[in-house]
Amino acid sequence: MKAIFRHELSSYFTNVTGYVFGAFLLLFAGIYTMAYNLHSGLANFEYVLSGMSFIFLIIVPILTMKVIAEEKRQKTDQLLYSLPLSMTKVVLGKYAALLVVFLIPTGIICLYPIILSAFGSVSFLTSYSAIIGFFLLGAALIAIGTFLSSLTESQAVAAGLCFVVMLLNYFISDLADYVSSSAFGSLAAFTLVVLALGGIFRLMTKNTFASLVLMGVLEGVLMVAYVLSGDSFAGLFPQIMEQLSLFDRFNQFVDGIFDLTSEVYFVSVIGIFLCLTVQSLEKRRWSE
């Protein structure tokens, strides 16, 4: 695992990927610090992190698009399968390297509240709470990007998928307002989710029959629940959509709420998508 970590980490700094990622993050941190704290005179550094959170939509796809997709395109993933390591350790090594690349500019950002405190009163508790939330948000998005990179051999496709998924998550709370709050509307929306899950399962397993069975079982369970308790479906899907937003969870840290539930949610998202990445690699390993 250490060898994978060192190799991945060095690869990000022997080309421009790691530098571009850090430069973009620090560039926007500087711009928003000047706009909010220096120009407007606000003492709330957490507003800087909230305002610049959209930058993840751009820099995370750039950072994660090659992590596994490029290995598959060049067939060097076969070397990973031949190593005396489990796929779990391979994925964790790659993910740890990505976190270090993210942690470096985040560590520099940690100095900003200290510097700003020389010009006025800064709430360190709120500022560093927001920084922790910012790091957890980035770590969760990087885990999602890593999984999406494992689904394809094309860096462009991986980056495109990652951007679309994160864009949907960024606006998911707003999109929830456009979903019908009726019971049937929630049922229809859940059906679309079942179809999407079936499509993802098909991409991972290349097994059409198993994907159809999965969709059939999930849709069957959904229909039984709807028949037994249709009234409980009213407004259910919009409520769930609002709870799924990683960016909304991060905004709780910005508001000064160090929410344990949100921390658990971020860690759960990281764990789930890293497990999915392991399963994606295991499937390819045994299908070769």
pLDDT at 80: 67
Nearest to 241 by CA among 168, 140, 133: 168
Nearest to 20 by CA among 59, 55, 54: 59
Q: Are 273 and 146 in contact (CB under 8 A)?
A: yes
pLDDT at 11: 83
The enclosing H or E element of 93 equals: helix 87-109
Contacts of 46 (CB under 8 A, 6+ apart): 126, 127, 129, 130, 253, 254, 256
CA dist 80 and 90 (Å) reads 8
CA dist 47 and 200 (Å) reads 36
Q: In 18-75, at which residue ranges do the beta strands (DSSP E only) sit?
A: none
Neighbour tally for 185: CB within 10 Å: 17
Look up residue 136 and give its amino acid: L
Q: Is 34 helix (H, G, I), strand (E, B) or coil?
A: helix
CA dist 275 and 270 (Å) reads 9
Alpha carbon 218 to its chain centroid, in Å, reads 25
| pLDDT values of the chain reduced to their tens digit, one per residue, 288 residues | 777 888 888 888 888 888 888 888 999 998 998 888 877 777 788 888 988 888 999 999 988 988 887 777 777 666 666 667 778 888 899 999 999 999 999 999 999 999 888 877 888 888 888 999 999 999 999 999 999 988 888 888 888 989 988 988 888 877 776 766 777 777 787 888 788 878 877 766 677 888 888 888 888 888 888 888 877 777 777 777 777 889 888 888 888 777 788 889 999 999 999 998 888 887 766 555
pTM for the complete prediction? 0.86
CA dist 104 and 111 (Å) reads 12
Angle at 246 between CA 244 and CA 252, to 5 degrees: 105
Nearest to 253 by CA among 97, 168, 138, 142: 138
What are the distances in angstroms from CA 79 to CA 20, 63, 72, 82, 135?
Answer: 28, 22, 10, 5, 32
pLDDT at 134: 93
CA dist 157 and 179 (Å) reads 28
CA dist 70 and 240 (Å) reads 35
CA torsion, points 239, 195, 64, 77, in degrees to nearest 10? 150
